[in-house]
Structure 1
Amino acid sequence: MAPVTCFLTYEVKPERLAEFEAYGRKWITLINAFGGQHHGYFLPSEGASDLAYALFTFPSLADYERYREQSMADPVCQDLFREVPTLIHRNDRTFLRPVPNGLET
């Protein structure tokens, strides 16, 4: 069972960046509560002002799928899902797997 990391790219509404940051802080807590490890949100600083990123890892794809099912029934998650159209134009998910260091087999 290999861990899976979800890399999210967001096209955010720049005028709503403060609200998006608050939204991200809530998801960090939720992902961790659902058994994942959130690595943080990364907001625009220099360059493009409408791109933000997030990374989080679950122990396996099955654990990620379980989180997705549970989040659909969670009232806090549902409130956050309703905020998406006001904050985000679109997002893309990419799933990654870690490469172990040279000392691991």
Structure 2
Amino acid sequence: MITCHVRYVIDPYKVGEFEEYARLWLPIVARMGGTHHGYFLPAEGANNIAIALFSFPSLSAYEDYRQLMVNDPECIEAFELEKLNRSILSYERSFMRPVLP
């Protein structure tokens, strides 16, 4: 299993818009074979950092997801929404492996 950790720097005045964008991805990742662990939005502390965590069975399964999303209508809709909202200022993507019992 591989888990993708995405750290977003968001516009603190557009948290609602970012949440709308985030909610679109939860079922998309599941439909494409992943497990979404959720988006984590600012509550206390920094008001411009959000996190997403989602897993795929393998890095190659994640790469398949990335290829499929290019032409997927729901993915395109989500990307277009973010182009309009401009809530994401930047992001960093890291891949991790879980330590499980």
Indicate the TM-score class for this superposition, using the shorter chain for normalisation: over 0.9
Q: TM-score, normalised by structure 2?
A: 0.93
Specify the SS of the correspondent of 1:35. coil
Find the aligned partners of 1:100 and 1:8 in 2 and give their Cα distance.
Answer: 21
Specify the SS of the correspondent of 2:74. helix
- Aligned pairs for 1:65-84 (under 5 A) are 65-84=63-82
Aligned length: 99
Find the aligned partners of 2:82 and 2:8 in 1 and give their Cα distance.
Answer: 11
Deviations 1:4-54 (A, max 9, x none): 000000001111111111111110110011000000000000110000001
1:75 Cα shift? 1.6
| 81-90 vs 34-43, which moves further | 81-90
Which runs of no fewer than 5 residues in structure 2 stay unpaired?
Answer: none
- Aligned pairs for 1:78-97 (under 5 A) are 78-85=76-83, 86-97=86-97
Structure-1 residue corresponding to 2:48: 50
1:100 Cα shift? 3.0
Which runs of no fewer than 5 residues in structure 1 stay unpaired?
Answer: none
Specify the SS of the correspondent of 1:31. helix
- Aligned pairs for 1:1-105 (under 5 A) are 3-85=1-83, 86-101=86-101
Q: Which has the greater radius of gyration?
A: 1
